[in-house]
Amino acid sequence: MIENDNFSTTPTTINRKEKKNLLLDKKEEILEEEIQEEQQLQDVEVQLYSVSEIAKHDSVGDAWVSMDGNVYNVTDFMGDHPGGSEIVEPYLGKDISPVFLDERVHEHGDVAYNMLQRYFIGQVQGYRKTSPSVQEMIRSKQKLESICSDKNSTTPLVSMEELQSRIDVTKPMVPQLEKLDGENYMRWIHSQTGLKQIIIFNNSFLELFTRWPWWYIFVLWVPIITIKLYSSTQQSNSSYAFSFFIFSFGLFSWSFFEYLLHRFVFHIKTTSYWGNFFHFFIHGIHHLTPYDSTRLTFPPIFSAVIAVALWKGVNAFPTTLVENGFNQALYAGIACGYMLYDTIHYYFHHGEITWLPSKLKEFKTHHLNHHYKDDNKNFGITSTIFDIIFGTY
């Protein structure tokens, strides 16, 4: 009996010892990690700013804010704030946490927080944490959203921290796309909105063809539009009045095509590698780097695809419509709408023109909200009417 009793208690004793050893090992690992983090922090010299120093930078031309003990110079971002600079102005030189968390003023999420980190310049001298940080609140909300998304996902969704660690934004992007499997690609793209610049290819020659000045669209499209409109007026059953009427119809109908393209093609939900690859080139690059002026207008190769597809479409009209110049005038009008769209879109991201109509400024806010607030809404650029009609406003 004694032997049996000893035998029966031995496993329990061993289990307790094992658990104790595991706990000790875990504590040692945690301590080692904390020591490493402290050493890393010591290795990096962080500039400290007093509250009074931060308060001096309280104008649109010299704009600093603080949050969670960190200091940010947001001068370059003031003109691009989706809700308008007037929302931020009362908090310049101060702690911006109240407006960052108050959805009644302007909703912010992890995209906005990630963008803010790019303007980091130092820390608040003597800062002491007294409540949950803005980052902690956002992460908590993000985890809840991830749990809900994971239920309907066909791909295991990883944490945003892990996603960000997978990709080095200072290196060429194309070779790294395979690291973003399935739906994690879309999550990463939209969480990183606002990067200043990225490298697409590891081949410098190919990289040249990804950058184009904004004015090239006029060099490409004005001759095409002029030739097609003039050709329309020269058809046997045509007239100047008829051609210009159809041209105007095509011009204003562009907003509908723009909405359809943006919502159902540019924002196609992809999960495969080649699907993600396709999306990256047609729209992912723009969502990553909306501030890169050389990658804002559609590259010529994609413009050419649109031009040819549109021309094939209008040439399929009945002969009677071809003879009166309907197809060419319509083509010229839609092409002109596209050219103006590309120009207006460029202004939304890189222009601050005070004399423009207030309605156009509303459209700008509408579009920037698509980038920084909810990429599943606000697909219209030159008009909001179709967002209102289809419930995406």
Please tell me the CATH code under which domain 49-124 is placed.
3.10.120.10
pLDDT tens digits, 125-162: 998 887 777 777 766 666 655 555 555 555 666 777 78
Binding residues for Zn(2+), as ranges, are 262, 267, 283, 286-287, 345, 349, 367, 370-371
Q: Dump pLDDT digits (tens) for 201-254.
A: 999 899 998 999 989 999 999 999 999 999 999 998 899 999 999 999 999 999
Half-sphere exposure of 77 (CA within 13 A, CB side): 25
Sketch the domain layout of the chain as residue ranges. 49-124, 204-389
Rounded to the nearest 5 degrees, what angle is found at the Cα of 235, between the Cα atoms of 234 and 237? 125
Q: Residues within the annotated binding site for heme?
A: 81, 108
Can you list the residues of the chain whose pLDDT is less than 50?
A: 1-9, 41-42
Distance CA 105, CA 244 (A): 45
Please tell me the predicted confidence (pLDDT) of residue 152: 56
Facing residues of 62 across strands?
59
The shares of helix, strand and coil residues in the chain, as percent rounded to the nearest 5, are 65, 5, 30
Can you give the pTM of this predicted structure? Answer: 0.74
Contact 219/306 with Cβ under 8 angstroms? no
Going by the annotation, the residues of the binding site are: 81, 108, 262, 267, 283, 286-287, 345, 349, 367, 370-371
| pLDDT for the residue numbered 124 | 94
